[in-house]
Structure 1
Amino acid sequence: MDTMRDRFAPVMTRLLDEDPRVAVVLAEIGVGAFDEALRAHPDRVINVGIREQLLIGAGAGLALAGLRPVVHTFASFLVERPFEQLKLDFGHQNVGGVLVSAAASFDWPEGGFTHMSPGDVALIDTLDGWTTHVPGHPDEAEALLRHAVGAGTGKDDRVYVRLSVQSNAAPMPVDGERFLTVREGRGGVVVAVGPMLDHVLAATEGLDVTVLYATTVRPFDGAALRRAVGATADVVLVEPYLAGTSTAAANDALADVPHRVLGLGVGRRELRRYGRVDEHLRAHGLDAASLRERISAFLGERAAVAGGRAAVAAGR
């Protein structure tokens, strides 16, 4: 199976053909995949070199000129390094654009901590007016990228699309807005974000819990969470980035309901032995075995026995 990032250049090449407003801004990373697009649209495929602050500034400048910029590099260089430019050039000037990241939390361990960014979604969340998509499969990435760019629609909002080499086995019918109900139960609610879904489904097999699938985490679909909790407002969030990133959003959604929220995700402690992606998942307690232990301990006996009550939805 190809990766989410494998889809990025082909999809963007088609969108460049479809809409003269669309532009792509790169900082060396991924340039080779845009050879065809560069030949066809040399004025709308721009490589600024290894200058990440300029990457963001150039994207915002294109937005001021009426274009729809799509800006791409590794998450650590797209969000963390030029954060001031995101705040001012896009936010303060109130212009729209699409940020598309790669490598994210620990997708390329060999690159070391300089190429890891588990705090990217939390950082974006400190800024006003950003939509954040976290696809869990290449098909979802393609759909959400098209949704974010909005070719031919005149769309002008600010969107962050977080691509990953981690992937679920099968895509879900995502719409860029709502959480999906994948499994129903009465012992608690587990929200699986993006590529965490397969791990969560394996971890909760046989447990009496509802599993919601989130690929658009901002805005946070509080209405779906409220519908799911029912009388048992125990919620576990499983996110592929910094643990606790969405706990405040879940708490706000359940402000008038007695509830407990457990946020699971990437820990703050730096892992200095870079290893492999699967080793990072285990170290952060995000593999299926660790998740089952942590979810079961939090939800307790109510979730322990599913009997015949668990229903699989959305075609899974």
Structure 2
Amino acid sequence: METMRDRFGTVASRLLDEDPRVAVVLAEIGRDAFTDAARRHPDRLINVGIREQLLVGTAAGLSLTGMRPIVHTFAAFLVERPFEQVKLDLGHQDTGAVLVSAGASFDWPAGGQTHMSPGDVALLDTLDGWTVHVPGHPDEAETLLRHAVAAGDDKVYVRLSLQRNRLPLPVDGARFLTVREGRAGVVVAVGPMLDTVLTATEGLDVTVLYATTLRPFDTAALRRATEAAGTDVVLVEPYLAGTSTRAATEALADVPHRVLGLGVGRRELRRYGTLDEHLAAHGLDAPGLRERIGAFVGAGAVSA
């Protein structure tokens, strides 16, 4: 089955063919996906080696010359390790790039804590001006990557994952989509969490919104949903729990509301396990979500 990362390699290679402004910058990881593209575009396919600070610095330099760099490696090495360069080379210099990560929160548990990054989006939230896309399907990853590359010189983060939904939805790089309507609360399912959320909320009288662009946060969509479904809001994110609670709270600042942030817990799990075992341990499988969402929105949320 094709993964989001498989699709990324294909689409980024096509973008090199289609747009002379595009450059792809790697740090060893992912190079095999660009073997043919490197032969066609040796001047715009740059592998800096295992030097993640240089990875981001090189992207900033390319941006200053008018290029549109796509930068790729594991999330832990793309956001966390070179964070000073993300903050200064891109942020302080006001230069744009498209950062595309792999690995997500714990896609490769055998890699251990060094290859896990549940805090990547929260860390970017400390900076100004970032767009954050979290696709839930390879088709959505392609749409959002193309949107990011076309977005002028903006700073964009595209978070890829092995987790995926069964079917894509028509995402547009801006809006939340209404997937299910109810009257007893709103559940915002982020990216690859949608299918699990729909299973977990089956029979609950809640509205389900689907979010693949988290920054900027779609305030208007959340407000519209709460007008009909009430202001109990649950956010289900595939990264650090509570990452978007501030954004949801600000969206509803003028009305009484409650917000529950569900996601990856802060406690480090020190056994490798599998991806599914990590999801269950953090309560992000369908039974865990149903228990917590049901308790939050109350018994009255069960539809007839």
Query: What is the TM-score normalised by the length of structure 2?
Result: 0.99
Q: How does 1:259-278 map to 2 (within 5 A)?
A: 259-278=257-276
Q: Shift of residue 302 of structure 1?
A: 2.6
Q: Which runs of 4+ in 1 moved over 6 A?
A: none
CA distance in 2, matches of 1:20, 1:84: 29
CA distance in 1, matches of 2:289, 2:208: 13
Q: Tell me, yes or no, if structure 1 residue 166 matches structure 2 residue 130.
A: no
Q: How does 1:86-235 map to 2 (within 5 A)?
A: 86-150=86-150, 155-230=152-227, 232-235=230-233
| Deviation readout 1:116-159 (Å, 9 max, x if unpaired) | 00000000111110000000001100111111111xx7x11010
Aligned partner of residue 298 in structure 2, secondary structure: helix
CA distance in 2, matches of 1:225, 1:84: 33
Query: Mean Cα displacement is larger for which, 231-240 or 65-74?
Result: 231-240
Instruction: Count how many residue pairs are aligned between Structure 1 and Structure 2.
Output: 303
CA distance in 2, matches of 1:298, 1:274: 31
CA distance in 1, matches of 2:184, 2:9: 43
CA contact (8 A) 1:186 1:302 kept: no
Amino acid across the alignment from 1:85: Q
Which residue is equivalent to 1:310? none
CA RMSD of the aligned region, Å? 0.7
Which residue is equivalent to 2:29? 29
Amino acid across the alignment from 2:214: V
CA distance in 2, matches of 1:75, 1:301: 39
What are the ranges of 5 or more consecutive residues in structure 1 without an aligned counterpart? 308-316
Aligned partner of residue 46 in structure 2, secondary structure: strand
Which residue is equivalent to 1:291? 289
Q: Shift of residue 297 of structure 1?
A: 0.4
CA distance in 2, matches of 1:207, 1:182: 14
| Deviation readout 1:214-264 (Å, 9 max, x if unpaired) | 000000001100000116100000000000000000000000010000000
- Sequence identity, in percent? 79
Structure 2 counterpart of 1:303, from 287, 301, 304: 301
CA distance in 2, matches of 1:280, 1:184: 30
CA distance in 1, matches of 2:266, 2:222: 26
CA contact (8 A) 1:210 1:228 kept: yes
What are the ranges of 5 or more consecutive residues in structure 2 without an aligned counterpart? none
| Deviation readout 1:29-64 (Å, 9 max, x if unpaired) | 001110111111100000000000000000000000
